[in-house]
Every structure is written in structure tokens, then in C-alpha cells.
Structure 1
Amino acid sequence: MLRHVIGALNILIREDLGYGGVTDWNFSEDEKRQCFCNRQFDVRDCSVQGIFTTADVVEHDPLSLMCPKMIPEWNTDLRIEQMVRYPIPHEERQRLEKAIDSNPSQRKAFILGHGLWSNLEVDQTLKWLDFVLDTIDPRRNLPVLLITPNAAGDQKPDEWIVSQGNKALVHFEHAMAIQAAKRRIDHLGTWNMSIQATLYDGVHMDMRGNLLKAMMVMNWLNLLEA
């Protein structure tokens, strides 16, 4: 689900509702028709072509980035690493460690998006969370935001209603808010903001919902400047 939030953030920094969240520079004409606007998120063949790092945009379509045009010294690298299981495989841990810039002068913030991979089991999630936190910031000095899953929609498959339905999601969100505070990191719950939203498959939000999540993340980042 963080993949979609990253897509929405890329829409904002590229100021492109049509293709801002995907690697449109290598799209065929058919893909451009298929993946336009909201379909960046709603069509699986489109959503899997999301942007994983700002460096890819700089390499392939640098003129689409709006921030450098307004702030010449802007050099933020927005990137995503996916680790959706625990224990975390060795190669995924190595990739995460490599992705963390060791330059102490460069400002960093980490956004940890948690989906449904743990079946909302708090103990399993905490093992994952502690492992990631120990990897990125053992001393807990860097800003970290944990985002927990949005609400379930009416298209949610029946077999997941008990373990991943709205009651389970609310309990999970409340539990993780407490655990985040104990670990001195921030928490963003998204159940309340999404309970009346459009979830095309009962799980994932469309572009509008993800843009709202992205704005909430931007507000959090802005607070770090205060």
C-alpha cells in the first residue's frame, strides 16, 4: 500500500495527474491509454509500473520534476524499498542497508507503510518493525512515520472479513499507535479517512484516496521543518 502512496507523492512532485505516479517514459501507446489518470492505481498492469526512486525520473524524464524548477538546489531522493514478510530475507536486508545513505549531513526521513501481509498480527508486525528500525536508525534519532492500513471496502473477499475486516483493522491501528509511541516514532492511522472512500477491490484506494494520504505525509514532513 505504501507503493501507492509513493505513486501519489510522485504525482505531486511531477504535477502530473495523468501519469505522474508511473514510469510513463517507457509506455507504449496502448499503455498510455490503459494507465491514464485514476487507472495508474486501479489497473494492476499499471500500478506495478510505479516509480521506485526519484533517480529514475532524473535519468529518464528530468523535465517532469517541478521542484527543481522552483527550488534550483532541490535534490531530494524519494525512494521505496519493499519488505513485506518476516523474517526479512537476507538479500532484502542488504538492499535496505545499501539504500540508506550514510552521509550524516543529508537530512533523512523514513516512512514505513504496513499493509496486510502479516494478517494484522501485532506480534509479527512488531518483529518486522523493530528489525527495520534497528537497521535504519539504531539510536532512534531520525524522524520515522508508521502508516497503518486503510479501511476495508464492500468488495473485500468474504474469506478475509474476520481477520482483515474493519473491526480487525481498527484494533490493529489502535495497537500500533501505542507501540509506535513506545518506540518514539510517529504514527498515521488511515482507517477513519478511508471508511467512506472508493476501494475498487475492497482493499486498495484509488488515486483520490492515495493523494489524500500523500498530502497527510507532506503535512508530516512539513512539521519536521517547524
Structure 2
Amino acid sequence: MAINPEYQTSMEDGMLVPVRHPFYRRTGNPLRDLVDDINFPHFCYKAVAYTYVLTILWGFYMILPLPGHWSTDGQPDNVTIFSRDYTNYFDVFKVSSACHLQAPDLYLPAIDAIPSLNGSSYCSTRLGFLSAISEGNTSSPDIQHWVQGCRYPWYSIDEICTIIGRFSAIIFVGDSSLQSIYNGFNILLRQDLVNGCLATWDMPDGAQLHCRCENQFTEPFCVKYFVNSSLQLPPQSWRADRRDKYHCDRSTRHEYLEVNYSPAPTTVLDKLDSLITRPGPSASQRKPVAIVHGLSPDSLPVERAAASVFEFKHRASSLTANALMLWIGPGATGTREPLNDDRDREIRAFDEYMALSAARFGVDVLGMWKATFHAWSLDGPRSQEKLAITQAMMVVNWLSWLEAR
């Protein structure tokens, strides 16, 4: 008769005791029994049935009206949709035939983009958006709004107000190159292509006529009328009488602080402190502050510019944990053989060094050299107003990503 090895015994001190077999034998036999008992057709049926049920449940979950399920690809969930009828975007703006500006001059929606050059999908991450702008597309003549890879949306004025309403303050700190972007920001918020960046309430009629459209940016005479703060805008009753629109809620302050030195002047730092720490809700409920910083090599050498980024980053972070900062690099100067042009070489070296420095300080980077390269002709920018509005919309897109950061 065969003997079951599991029940063999041995003699120890005159007693019979069970033999303790190795672990692999003690576990192997039950596993073999388990495998022998498996009904493989039955197992496959159960697997298919459970997969089918889980797929149906997942489909029902995805059609629920939850954040992220119905927003356009790449759109932050809290800005649900952007302007679709882009051709008529400027119909609600104060316009003039002298401005020579139409929406397609600035932007092409993804549906009209050329996928082989532009990419046809919207950016899905903040860093993807920043990279798409910074990398640009320098091979497309006369199209300043083309970017590399994914696309960014062009927001309606209502959507812009929703985006900036998330912040207690939006502070532009830099030299004249950044002030041009702030001017474009004001044109969008005031919906005025004619005098949107100027304090028209302080200007005589002749000055308003002289500083129209492109002249807002190109005529030195008009610089003294630039709006540098949302506090400069007149009250609602005055605007209603004069048809000077400012669509957004006044609770979000925005301001331009001129900086051409490092360390920054005490007056600038004091103003920055007051904007960051102005009275409001408790610290846990306080909205974040966005700081946009930009300098060109005309204002500061690269080492001092990097020190300026660190100065404002450190100062803002010491006052609030909700300070978010963007570095905007300098734009291009023209289409003259950039690699052989000393001026363009200087700007590109400055831009590359500053991008690395800002990233090292934990600051987002939006490079503008490639994005602006084809916005210029040999004699200067084709349109500073078009360029400023486009760059301002890029800043708005950066702001739109911050809440999901």
C-alpha cells in the first residue's frame, strides 16, 4: 500500500512524531489542488461579465456633470467655455477705422489652425502652455500668434473678468517692454481699441485724437497719459456718462510698477507691499496675488535682472504664501538674420539666461522672443497694439491656470 508522505512518521526517543516537510512542499500541494479545481471557462465568463459591468459604470460616471467632464480639452475647469464667434470679437469694443485691427490678425482658433504647423488641440497643462508660447514657431512669416504644439484659447471679456476675479491683485513689475503688455491688458478690460490704455478723462480732445490706435504705443507724447493702475479709472457714474467701459469687478486691483534698477526703489517695494497686504478676508480666505515681472537688457544687465527676479519673488513670498509669479522674457527686435545680428544675439542670450534663473527661483517662465519674432519688420514692429493685446491675452491664459496649480 502506498504511503502518503504527509503522514510519514519517524522515531524520536521511542515516540512516533510527524515529519515536518519543507515549506515548498507544504504550500505546493494546496496550490496544485486549487489550480486543479479552477473551472477556466467559468473564470473567463466571470472576468468578461465584471469587465462589462465596470465599463458601463465608468461610462455613466463620465457623463455626470462633474468638473473636467464637460470642459473643452485643456481648459481649466473653472473657465468652462471661451468665445466661439471669434470673428466678431471686437464688435463690442470702441473701435475706429484708423485702428486697422481685426480679430483674425491676432489669433486663429484651433479649428482653423494648420495642424502640421500649429497643432490643433488646446494645451492640457500650465507648463505645456508656457512651453508652447516660449518655443513658438519662427518659420511662419507674418503670423505672430502661431505657437509650437498645443493652442491657447482667446477669452471673451466675461471670461477674463472671471479669471482675474480669482485674485486680490495682479501686479506688473518691469520696464517699458512690460508696460506695453499692461497697456494691452487695459485695452481688453476697457474694451477700447482707440484709447484703451490712456487716461482719456485727463486728456484734451486734441490729444485724444492724436493718440489713437497705434499712436497710443508709438508716439512719445502719449506716454504721460498711460493708465498705470485700476485705481486711476473713474467711478461708475462718470463712465456711464462718458461711455468709458470697464467691465470687470473693481475688487481685483491691477497695477503697473516701473522698475529699471536692482535693488528696486523703496517706493516700488512699499507699493508692492501695500498691494499684497491690503485689508481683506482672513489669511485662510485671502485670494492669491499674481506678479508679472519683465525686463529687457536695455534696462539691466543679466545678473542684475536675475537679482531683481529673486528680490520680488522673495519679498512677495515673505508677505504671503499665495504669491504666484511669472517672468516674461524680452521680445525680438526684427527679422534681420537673428544669428548674425549683435542685438538679437544679446536678447537671446539674456532670454535664455533669465529663463534658467527664473525657473531656479520657482518662477514660471513665458519666453517671448520666438513668439514675437514675426511681429516685427526691418523698420520696427508691424503693430505694437496688436502685439500688446496678444501678449496680454497670453498673460490672461497664464492666470487662468493658476487656480489648478
Q: TM-score range by the shorter chain?
A: 0.7 to 0.9
SS at match of 1:78: strand
The superposition leaves residues 50-102 of structure 1 with CA deviations (integer Å, 9 ceiling, x where unpaired) of 1111111144854434434xxxx562211111121123233333333233334
Contact kept, 8 Å, 1:140 with 1:184, in 2: the verdict is no
Alignment partner, residue 158 of structure 1: none
What is the number of residues matched between the two proteins? Answer: 214
TM-score of the pair, normalised by structure 1: 0.83
Looking at structure 2, the residues matched to 76 and 91 of structure 1 have their Cα atoms a distance apart, in angstroms, of: 21
Unpaired runs of 5+ in structure 1?
A: 156-160
Deviations 1:167-208 (A, max 9, x none): 121122122221122111111111111112137974896101
Match of 2:265 in 1: 89
Per the TM alignment, residue 146 of structure 1 is displaced from its structure 2 partner at its CA by 0.7
Equivalent pair of 1:145/1:188 in contact (CA under 8 Å): yes
User: What is the root-mean-square deviation in Å for CA atoms of aligned residues?
Assistant: 2.6
Moved more, 29-38 or 105-114: 105-114
Higher strand share: 2
Question: Who is 1:174 aligned against?
Answer: 352
Return the letter of the residue paired with 2:211. Answer: C
Q: 1:17 aligns with which of 180, 193, 217?
A: 193
The one of 208, 219, 230 aligned to 1:43: 219
From the CA coordinates, give the structure whose radius of gyration is larger: 2
Match of residue 363 from structure 2 = 185
Q: Which deviates more, 195-204 or 174-183? A: 195-204
**Runs of 5+ in structure 2 lacking a partner?**
1-176
Equivalent residue, structure 1, for 2:387: 209
2:229 match: 53
Q: Within 5 A, what are the aligned runs for 1:120-159?
A: 121-138=301-318, 141-153=322-334
* TM superposition shift of 1:38: 1.1
What is aligned with 1:28? 204
Q: Percent identity?
A: 24
Which is worse superposed, 81-90 or 142-151? 81-90
Distance 2:267 2:382 in 1: 28
The answer to whether the Cα contact below 8 Å between 2:306 and 2:358 also exists between their aligned partners in 1 is no
Q: Say if 1:112 and 1:144, in contact at 8 Å, map to a contact too.
A: yes
C-alpha separation between the residues in 2 aligned to 1:197 and 1:87? 32
- Secondary structure in structure 1 of the residue aligned to 2:255: coil
Per-residue CA deviations over 1:18-74 (Å, capped at 9, x if unaligned) read 011111112112101110111111111113321111111144854434434xxxx56
Higher mean alpha-carbon deviation, 34-43 vs 91-100, is at: 91-100
Determine helix, strand or coil for the equivalent of 1:144: strand
Conserved 8 A contact 1:200-1:206: no
TM-score of the pair, normalised by structure 2? 0.48
